[in-house]
Structure 1
Amino acid sequence: MGLSHSSSYHSSHVRSVTEYGPVIVEPHLDIYTRLPICEFMGYDNNSYSPQFELLVQSYQALYDRPYDDVRSYFKVVGLHALPFKSYDGVTGGIHEYKNDTDWFNGRYGGYCHHGDVLFQPWHRPYLLLVESLIINEAKRIASQYPDYEREKYVEAANKFRHPYWDWAAKEAINGIPDAFTLAEFEINTPRGIEKVKNPLKGYILPVNLSYPLEKGRNPTDRPHYRIPGLDRNPFTPAGYSTIRYPNPNYEDQYDLLDLNMSIYNPTVFRPGYYQTFHIDNYLHFSNNALKSNDKEMGENLTAHPNPIMIGYSHFASIETTHDAFHFISGGPGGHMSYADITAYDPLFFFHHFFVDRIFAIWQTIFPNSWVPENISVNGTYVLEKFSVINEHTELTPFRKSETEFWTATDIRDIEKLGYTYPELVKFKGQDPKKLQAYILAYYKPDNLHGRRFYAKLTIEESKSIGSYVIRVFVDLKNATAETPVTSPHFAGLVAVRRKPYKSAPHLVGTVDITAAMERLGIRTQVHHYYYDIIDVRTGLLNPAAIFDVDNDINIVPCYLDGTEISPKEAGVKKVEVYSFQHDEEDPNFLVENSGRHHFTKHF
């Protein structure tokens, strides 16, 4: 699906990433649409079959490059985090990351921005780099097809844009697409119809990733493999693949992944992004740390004041829901669950191309809010902790020339980068409110109308290290880590990533508890506390009208392996409940002054 391009874009070809010299991330010269992976695979029709066949072969081609080539899959994914080394010669000068000490002092070892306002802008040139490398390989492979097929594949390569997986769509409740689970595909290659290994199922490490752990915790210990302690990165020896939900034989368990998609798609993913599209302030939309008042942060940058909660900070940011998917798609021991090794799983990119779509749609709905000046609490490979960042901060290591790096300002307009998304094509030139209404209807988690209730968790420095979740149950005081998430009392969860940071950011997470309240017969309508709780026929209290929010919101923090930890260990400081009016006539219900605060429970 193409778009007519602006006058500054004339070529019918996508500019290649140069093979030699510094890695320059250049925009595509034409605008084409990034599509969902299921459409790419031809589930509805086979229009994109040539592009899918090129996608499969191009990923494998990146895998096959020498691993120390800066344009190989290994090198490109490694810049995100492990092995915590410079990429393409981009270092931090006197502030360069010191692998032996900085990680334990809380500084992030990769180039990625986690937990700050550049979280999503940083990923945009990263995805553009990966997409460009895939396109390069696709064009090379297309040129090798026989004469009678070459034109079709060359055209497919020229129009190629990397697909995404919308794991918050309704159909995602059915589980992970075949594109990521099948062992092989039968596709048309330059040599004819062949069965080829599926490179999207996993990436086989060419060298060791991370470090060996105690006996029993390494893939080489199969068939008695046990996932490592969650304060450590799993070890992947050379010759072993990335994994999702590993069993004792270090094999993927897609039945567990699919089961969890069926549970968390309606309780976490859809409600999360449904909330996100009501947030009109970039500072509150962008990442999962508590946000400071815009003006206060600007006036006190040198002092780095403790964040204060304002505005929409109790709704779901784009990063909060993004984090939850990492845990659900990787599972205990899976690469997607660990920030330091997550990018090695090819599913990472299909996930992040989708998150970029969420970002681009949000920008279109709220075009006047953009990256404010703030601080990077975690730092990066080249950036010290608590550094001041803004829209002009260099998004290293992504060069736009030999001497310049991309910034958030540079990547704000995706059409100037040469791509778009289906919804943006559909609503191009229309009132952004129409796009917002469409997206709210698309991601609405249920058919409930009226007043919606939200449990907001404030999480500060915790004693726990590693990835964990905080499950939220309604009206179940004895809930534990053993309580199944299939219980009607389960409302959702908040995902948390923790390293041994001495100064970890404060986080917030919000769970929509409305559906759980409805399942349990708890009234969600606004009612008069003196009359509506009494059955007028009998004079007795009506149990359906009673909801003791002070006692009936129960949280259960636990590691990904199911080990329960206390709220104090998890850093939970308080839980609050808010409600907002929502009806069919006024779907834009998360308006700040319409909310009602019900209670605060401190820990």
Structure 2
Amino acid sequence: MGLSHSSTYHSSLMRSVSESSPVIIEPYSEIYPRLPIEDFIGCDNETYSSQFELIIQSYQAMYDRPYTDMRSYFQVAGIHSQPWIAYDGVTGGAQEYKNETDWARGRWGGYCHHGDVLFGPWHRPYLLLMESLLINESKKIALQYPENEREKYVEAANQLRIPYWDWADVKAIKGIPDVFTLTELEINTPEGMKKVKNPLRSYTIPVDLAFPLGKGYNPTDKPHYEIPSFGFNPFTPAGYSTVRYPNANYEDQIDYLNQNISVYVSTVLRPLVYQMLQINNYLQFSNHALRSNDTEAPGVYPAHPLPLVVAGRAHFASIETAHDAIHFVVGGPGGHFLYPDLGGFDPVFFFHHAAIDRLLALWQATWVTENVDINGTYTEDLYTVVNEDSDLTPFRKSETEFWKSSTVRDIEKLGYTYPELVKFKGQDPRELQAYLLKFYKPDPHYGRRFFVKLIIDAGKLVGPYVIRVFLDLQNASVETPVTSPHFAGFVAMWRRASPYQISGTTYVMGSVDITAAMERAFNTPDVNATTGLLSSSAIFDIQSDINIVPCYLNGTGVNPKEAGVDEVEIYSFEHDKVDPDFLVEDSVQYYYTKKF
């Protein structure tokens, strides 16, 4: 299959947007909460239903803007990565991304930060940009309503904040909310009740996105479309819409999507959030790139630490590992949301990132430290040192300055909040943490929790891919369904599709909570039926009972070593006897390390 890197389209598009006026993101004058998307659907609350109707119409209004308009959905979604062009004239001077040379070096082509401490803070003004544009469209639409309805919609537009989809809420077991899959919605518009095309199901790409591949791997080859090999971003011709779990006709497979969400909410998503909320160190919490002991290590790259080899890093699950997992779960094999270069174009992207921002805001125990952005961005070269005073390009605070992590830390100063922050405002932060741990606890287990920790060389295999963990099933393979009782969870390797990533320069560490799978696999007297406590005597032979199964997005398997799995560790933590939702960090018990 062929791949072209012609930049003619990209440079012409850059010229067409470079003359637009600067896009400045200003804080809102009043504070209103971002709410769960479910609160808006089928509700009797006039304010919420009016906000929902405005959101739907405002999304469509952004879709309808010329794609060269920097306030269009295409331009805003394209900030994340493709089409690798300057947004709002922000080029970074000498550090501007060059399509040909930098792509070959493995440099990230979008503005977004992944795998460094700016992951969470960078996406905060990104959401503010999208949110502010939706609010501006909503205010214009509200003024078009008949006089007897206008005041209600004007107030709804004023209170509007982008909703979040909490994919780790137990309610998510039902699948993705219908608002992201229905083809039509019936809403009240300025012209009265109407059935409208649902803009949250998909977005129609206005220009060719990515590059044509070999026969059979492009949407135009339906009904024999195949998912491209892992080394390439899928090509989307102009006029084609974003998809999730595409079939041979390049159509969504919503049933597969919901089935996978149902499985992964309990096995992957809730355990990840539960672990993440136990962490109190920002560097460990902030991103999926491995940091061993928060210090620099010579002989690799400046400030880039060697991989962790000691046992017992406490319940490691960063906010970015949770973020990565949902991209796999929703995008599915071949879907746009699966790919770092394309994910921003799926309409669910901003609702997902509102959920990530909420978790960051609820956690915010400490704030941005300093480390190295080994991937680079559109405006930063590889191995740039970043900290809380780094510019979060391309998001302008004014015509002459950009937003920084230090200026987006206090979300109330930005004009929004989240319901739990309102509920626990002024209380001991531990009260909020206890509430969240109880809310996200994946199961009622109160004894020890057992984990498999994977240390993965992120440069070994072109992504994206997942590493599944099975228990007590020696013949586990990519053919083994995730509905198997032996399936414990996975670690997502959400990496760009570039075969030129420099090997051996970064590591990802992820952990899988295997407690529930152990109880299923070893339902013996060692499991107390009353307390749910799993005795350590029930621990098993790691050599035969832990099975690591890397899986490409197209279903192809590969052995762990080839997938960069250097080693796995088995360890456990004990729940606090007084506050049983907390894990006691110094209670860590290490069992075994298996090297590959």
Question: TM-score, structure 1 length as denominator?
Answer: 0.91
Distance 1:105 1:523, change over 3 A: farther
Query: 1:9 — aligned with what?
Result: none
Query: 1:593 — aligned with what?
Result: 586
Deviation at 1:295, TM superposition (A): 4.4
Question: Is the 1:522–1:546 Cα contact (8 Å) retained in structure 2?
Answer: no
Query: 2:4 — aligned with what?
Result: none
Structure 2 counterpart SS, 1:595: strand
2:253 counterpart of 1:253: yes
Partners of 1:409 and 1:546 lie apart in 2 by 46
Deviation at 1:292, TM superposition (A): 4.0
CA-based RMSD: 2.3
Partners of 1:383 and 1:307 lie apart in 2 by 24
* 1:512-547 deviation per Cα after TM superposition (whole angstroms, max 9, x unaligned): 0000001122569699xxxxx9xxxxxxxx998462
Query: 2:329 — aligned with what?
Result: 328
Question: Is the 2:115–2:289 Cα contact (8 Å) retained in structure 1?
Answer: yes
Question: Is the 1:268–1:492 Cα contact (8 Å) retained in structure 2?
Answer: yes
Partners of 2:146 and 2:396 lie apart in 1 by 36
Query: 2:554 — aligned with what?
Result: 561
- Aligned ranges for residues 91-130 of structure 1 at < 5 Å? 91-130=91-130
Query: 1:318 — aligned with what?
Result: 319
Question: Is the 2:43–2:49 Cα contact (8 Å) retained in structure 1?
Answer: no
Query: 1:512 — aligned with what?
Result: 513
Deviation at 1:585, TM superposition (A): 2.3
Structure 2 counterpart SS, 1:103: helix
| 437, 443, 446: which one aligns with 2:443 | 446
| 371, 388, 392: which one aligns with 1:391 | 388
Partners of 1:85 and 1:423 lie apart in 2 by 38
Partners of 1:105 and 1:20 lie apart in 2 by 31
Between stretches 272-281 and 501-510, larger displacement belongs to: 501-510
Partner amino acid for 1:374?
N
2:407 counterpart of 1:414: no
Q: What residue ranges of structure 1 are gaps of 5+ in the alignment?
A: 1-18, 528-532, 534-541
Between stretches 127-136 and 88-97, larger displacement belongs to: 88-97
Query: 1:27 — aligned with what?
Result: 27
Distance 1:304 1:318, change over 3 A: closer
Partner amino acid for 2:402?
F
Distance 1:107 1:546, change over 3 A: closer
| 450, 454, 458: which one aligns with 1:457 | 454
Partner amino acid for 1:443?
Y
Structure 2 counterpart SS, 1:406: strand
- Aligned ranges for residues 151-162 of structure 1 at < 5 Å? 151-162=151-162
Question: Is the 2:34–2:163 Cα contact (8 Å) retained in structure 1?
Answer: yes
Partner amino acid for 2:287?
N
Structure 2 counterpart SS, 1:60: helix
Query: 1:219 — aligned with what?
Result: 219
Question: Is the 1:27–1:417 Cα contact (8 Å) retained in structure 2?
Answer: yes
Partners of 1:65 and 1:140 lie apart in 2 by 14
Structure 1 counterpart SS, 2:262: helix
Deviation at 1:313, TM superposition (A): 6.5
Question: Is the 1:36–1:165 Cα contact (8 Å) retained in structure 2?
Answer: yes
Question: Is the 1:271–1:444 Cα contact (8 Å) retained in structure 2?
Answer: yes
* 1:152-210 deviation per Cα after TM superposition (whole angstroms, max 9, x unaligned): 00000011101011011001000011110111111110011111100000000111111
2:471 counterpart of 1:470: no
Partners of 1:442 and 1:546 lie apart in 2 by 28
Structure 2 counterpart SS, 1:185: strand
Deviation at 1:46, TM superposition (A): 5.0
Deviation at 1:592, TM superposition (A): 2.8
| 434, 437, 456: which one aligns with 2:434 | 437
Deviation at 1:21, TM superposition (A): 2.0
- Aligned ranges for residues 358-397 of structure 1 at < 5 Å? 358-363=359-364, 366=365, 369-397=366-394
Distance 1:215 1:553, change over 3 A: same
Partners of 1:362 and 1:121 lie apart in 2 by 13
Deviation at 1:31, TM superposition (A): 0.3
Partners of 1:166 and 1:258 lie apart in 2 by 15
Query: 1:174 — aligned with what?
Result: 174
Between stretches 70-79 and 123-132, larger displacement belongs to: 70-79
Question: Is the 1:451–1:525 Cα contact (8 Å) retained in structure 2?
Answer: no
Deviation at 1:299, TM superposition (A): 13
Question: Is the 2:90–2:394 Cα contact (8 Å) retained in structure 1?
Answer: yes
Query: 1:547 — aligned with what?
Result: 540
Question: Is the 1:523–1:544 Cα contact (8 Å) retained in structure 2?
Answer: no
Query: 2:74 — aligned with what?
Result: 74
Distance 1:303 1:178, change over 3 A: closer
| 562, 573, 576: which one aligns with 1:580 | 573
2:403 counterpart of 1:402: no
Structure 2 counterpart SS, 1:459: strand
Question: Is the 1:450–1:525 Cα contact (8 Å) retained in structure 2?
Answer: no
Deviation at 1:314, TM superposition (A): 5.3
Partners of 2:563 and 2:296 lie apart in 1 by 29
Structure 2 counterpart SS, 1:456: strand
Query: 1:289 — aligned with what?
Result: 289
Deviation at 1:306, TM superposition (A): 2.8
Partner amino acid for 1:397?
P
Structure 1 counterpart SS, 2:481: coil
Question: Is the 1:372–1:391 Cα contact (8 Å) retained in structure 2?
Answer: yes
Question: TM-score, structure 2 length as denominator?
Answer: 0.92
Partners of 1:250 and 1:461 lie apart in 2 by 30
Structure 1 counterpart SS, 2:30: coil
* 1:547-578 deviation per Cα after TM superposition (whole angstroms, max 9, x unaligned): 22333111100112211011111100000011
Query: 1:530 — aligned with what?
Result: none
* 1:400-458 deviation per Cα after TM superposition (whole angstroms, max 9, x unaligned): 01110111000000000000001111111111111111100110001111011000000
Deviation at 1:42, TM superposition (A): 3.4
Partners of 1:304 and 1:511 lie apart in 2 by 25
Query: 1:7 — aligned with what?
Result: none
Query: 2:266 — aligned with what?
Result: 266
Structure 2 counterpart SS, 1:101: helix
Partners of 1:411 and 1:309 lie apart in 2 by 35
Partners of 2:409 and 2:221 lie apart in 1 by 47
Deviation at 1:373, TM superposition (A): 1.0
Partners of 2:558 and 2:300 lie apart in 1 by 36
Partners of 1:429 and 1:125 lie apart in 2 by 26
Partners of 1:120 and 1:180 lie apart in 2 by 24
2:124 counterpart of 1:90: no
Using the aligned pairs only, state the percent identity.
Answer: 64
Distance 1:561 1:383, change over 3 A: same
Partner amino acid for 1:346?
P
Structure 1 counterpart SS, 2:395: coil
